[in-house]
């Protein structure tokens, strides 16, 4: 892809009328350290892969790709995604595996067509609390992060295959216990303990109601 982008960048601006819909980075040398801004001149892209580079920042202009259906940015040095990612309303697949992302923007949760989210091998300490709003999500891969819990809204995704092993999840609310679509690991020891989240105040209040 790198040679292609350099060739496109060398074209006079007046001749840049190429219809480009599918762009893949097949080789990883030489690597980009910045998102290739020449791509923003091709707003009809439907598939974009910038994997296997050394990109650290995704610019907010990413939201300009209104027709983008698949975006692959794995194996980079990305530490943050811009909220404008939520403007990619046609997006079906988002892959950001093997980066340094510690938090996903809440705007991901408003992507109406998202079917697959790959965010394994990052530094995520949590998932967006409204991730359960992704009604069309069929696969969520969050393996090998730093998750200690899961948002309650995940319980609204019973048809989604969810993988969260190699994290730090020790306990989860009892509501997660019936969720057979969540894969915690290869052994019983990796499965979290399901606990009642009722506080002592709530418990005493409920007890008083029973004793009345």
| pLDDT, tens only, 134-188 | 999 999 999 999 999 999 999 999 999 999 999 999 989 889 999 999 999 877 7
108 pLDDT tier (thresholds 50, 70, 90) = very high
212 pLDDT tier (thresholds 50, 70, 90) = low
Model pLDDT, residue 36: 92
15 pLDDT tier (thresholds 50, 70, 90) = very low
196 pLDDT tier (thresholds 50, 70, 90) = confident
Residue 27 has pLDDT above 90, yes or no: no
Model pLDDT, residue 173: 87
Number of independent structural domains in the chain: 1
Model pLDDT, residue 88: 98
Model pLDDT, residue 30: 55
What percent of the chain lies above the pLDDT cut of 70? 78
Residue 9 has pLDDT above 70, yes or no: no
Interacting residues of 25 by C-beta distance below 8 A, sequence separation 6+: 1, 2, 49, 50, 51, 52, 53
| Average confidence (pLDDT) over 75-92 | 98
28-79 residue pLDDT tens: 555 899 999 999 999 999 999 999 999 999 999 999 999 999 999 999 999 9
Domain, as residue range, for 185: 2-211
For CA atoms 199, 200, 205, 207, the dihedral sign is: positive
Question: pTM for the complete prediction?
Answer: 0.83
Task: State the CATH number of the domain containing residue 73.
Answer: 3.80.10.10
21 pLDDT tier (thresholds 50, 70, 90) = low
201 pLDDT tier (thresholds 50, 70, 90) = low
Residue position matching structure tokens 């019983």: 188
């Amino acid at each position: 892809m790198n040679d292609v982008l350099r060739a496109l960048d060398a074209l006079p601006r007046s001749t840049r009328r190429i219809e480009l819909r599918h762009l893949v980075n097949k080789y990883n040398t030489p690597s980009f350290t910045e998102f290739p801004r020449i791509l923003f001149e091709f707003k009809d892209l439907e598939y974009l892969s910038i994997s296997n580079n050394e990109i650290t920042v995704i610019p907010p202009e990413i939201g300009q790709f209104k027709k983008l259906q698949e975006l692959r940015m794995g194996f980079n040095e990305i530490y943050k995604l811009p909220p404008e990612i939520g403007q990619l309303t046609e997006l079906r697949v988002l892959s950001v595996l093997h980066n340094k992302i510690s938090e996903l923007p809440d705007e991901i949760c408003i992507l109406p067509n998202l079917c697959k989210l790959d965010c394994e091998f990052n530094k995520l300490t949590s998932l967006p609390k409204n991730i359960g709003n992704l009604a069309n999500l069929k696969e969520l891969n969050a393996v090998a992060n730093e998750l200690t819990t899961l948002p309650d809204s995940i319980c609204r995704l019973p048809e989604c295959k969810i993988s969260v092993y190699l994290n730090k999840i020790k306990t989860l609310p009892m509501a997660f216990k019936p969720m057979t679509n969540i894969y915690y690991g290869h052994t019983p020891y990796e499965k979290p303990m399901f606990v009642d989240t009722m506080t002592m105040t709530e418990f005493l209040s409920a007890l008083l109601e029973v004793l009345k």
